[in-house]
Amino acid sequence: MRLIPEYEPIEKLQLCFVQEFFNERFQCGKTLCQMIRAAHPHAQVELFASSADLPYLHREFEQHHVDPQMLQVHCDSPGRIYLAESAPIFAECDDGETAGILFSVPKLQQAAEVEAFGRRLVNRLHVKPLEMNLPFRPAALAVNEDVALLSQDAIKEEDREATQAFFQEHFPRQTFNLVPSLAGDVTHDLDMFLWPIAPKVWIVSEYPAHTPQARSIAPAIEILLAHGHTVNRVPGLEPVIYADINTMPNYANGVILNHAALVPVYGRQEDEVVQRILHNYGYEVLPVDCTDIILSNAAVHCLSKTVPARSPAYGRTA
């Protein structure tokens, strides 16, 4: 088996809408509507929301010019906007079928709801469930061809060896390396500074030399270069810290949709750098304003999940 890199062909972009708090404070609905409008020509869009949240969702559609015909809405929800943390990790079995790795998320307040949603999603997609039986978050993993990186800071020290062993045992064609997360990032997620965009090609944030951020990123870059991968650097932005906000805006938290890329932007001159790199690799760039949503420590990748095109549920094979 092998883990499926997220730049490979996809069938669907999945999202989740929750009215309370995150939508009201960080305008999650506005960001989701941008993503829906941008993604619609490139992939099927599927959105999950509880029946109680549907009136608020349709109000967002009206306000931000989303035609409900652009997507399919399911009255189901994990209760959190960060769909990536509850959706399965997709893998390709030796027989060509798709598997969905299921994991526990004990740190979350809605841990039981999130885990149950992941199981329902695996059933809905008709993919093979693969039980990890360990606490994990998909954003603690970044995969590109033969190389996979695991955020050591997102995994409890007592679980690191077992987590690395699980992945190495089930996916022997890929090597799994524990690396530090971005210094100063409270999420400890790899998608806050690393983005695999094509086979053996990455976008990686860049910070001034000798800063804690630059030192923290160095081990991951060394591994990628040692495996012959190409690393494209993009500006690492200054943190936003005030009141209860502590976040690291970045350009790595994006999503590949076949020949297009949903890219976080912030209305800054630096936005052009990541867009130019993606253009050079043949992608149509679809900017998404993440100025508000990043204050919740999330951007495009955190809010979504892509379903591989080879999934039997959608009639594709490898």
96: Cα within 13 Å, side-chain hemisphere: 6
**Residue 312: what pLDDT?**
44
| Beta-strand relationship, 240-242 and 245-247 | antiparallel
**Residue 310: what pLDDT?**
66
State pLDDT tens for residues 113-126: 999 999 999 999 99
CA distance 46 to 105: 23
CA-wise closest residue to 227 among 207, 202, 205, 195: 202
**Residue 315: what pLDDT?**
36
Do the beta carbons of residue 295 and residue 283 sit within 8 Å? no
Is the four-CA dihedral 233, 234, 238, 242 of positive or negative sign? negative
For the chain, give every domain's residue range. 2-314
**Residue 23: what pLDDT?**
82
State pLDDT tens for residues 301-315: 999 999 999 644 433
Coil, strand, or helix at residue 92?
A: strand
2-314 is classed in which CATH architecture? 5-stranded Propeller (3.75)
0.75 surpassed by pTM: yes
Q: Given the structure tokens 């996979």, which residue do they identify?
A: 148
**pLDDT < 50 positions in the chain:** 311-318
